[in-house]
């Protein structure tokens, strides 16, 4: 493999793993059919229990991991994806 900038063949290829954490949210259907009236009622009439529940409930996370190959020229330092 040759570097596109300097033409050197001294290129190192590395596999890089990228992790992204996203929080899961309630769907549109929940808010259309239930959430628009249930959430305000719970906050108005059950403020303290709802507040405690929001603090102790487990968070819903979705972890996405992507891997990609990156080439690094050892002479000039240029990086590019393979």
pLDDT of residue 12: 92
Question: Residue 27 has which token pair?
Answer: 């769907």
For the question of whether the overall pTM of this predicted structure is more than 0.75, the answer is no
pLDDT of residue 24: 77
- Mark out the alpha helices in 1-82 (DSSP H runs): 28-30, 36-45, 47-56
pLDDT of residue 34: 81
pLDDT of residue 68: 93
- Per-10-residue mean pLDDT, the chain, length 82: 88 92 82 82 81 81 90 91 88
14 SS3 class: strand
Answer yes or no: is 4 within a domain: no
The number of distinct structural domains making up the chain is 1
C-beta of residue 8 within 8 angstroms of C-beta of residue 2:
yes
C-alpha to C-alpha distances, 76 to 15, 68, 79, nearest whole angstrom: 20, 21, 9
Expressed as residue numbers, the domain containing 37 is 11-81
Place of tokens 């992790």: 19
C-beta of residue 71 within 8 angstroms of C-beta of residue 1:
yes
Answer yes or no: is 6 within a domain: no
Answer yes or no: is 2 within a domain: no
């Amino acid at each position: 493999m040759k570097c596109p900038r300097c033409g050197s063949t001294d290129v190192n290829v590395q596999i890089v793993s990228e992790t992204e954490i996203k929080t899961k949210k309630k769907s549109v259907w929940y808010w259309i059919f239930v959430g628009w009236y249930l959430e305000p009622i719970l906050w108005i009439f059950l403020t303290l229990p709802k507040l405690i529940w929001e603090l102790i409930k487990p968070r819903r996370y979705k972890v996405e991991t992507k891997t990609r190959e990156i080439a690094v020229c050892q002479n000039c330092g240029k990086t590019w994806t393979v």
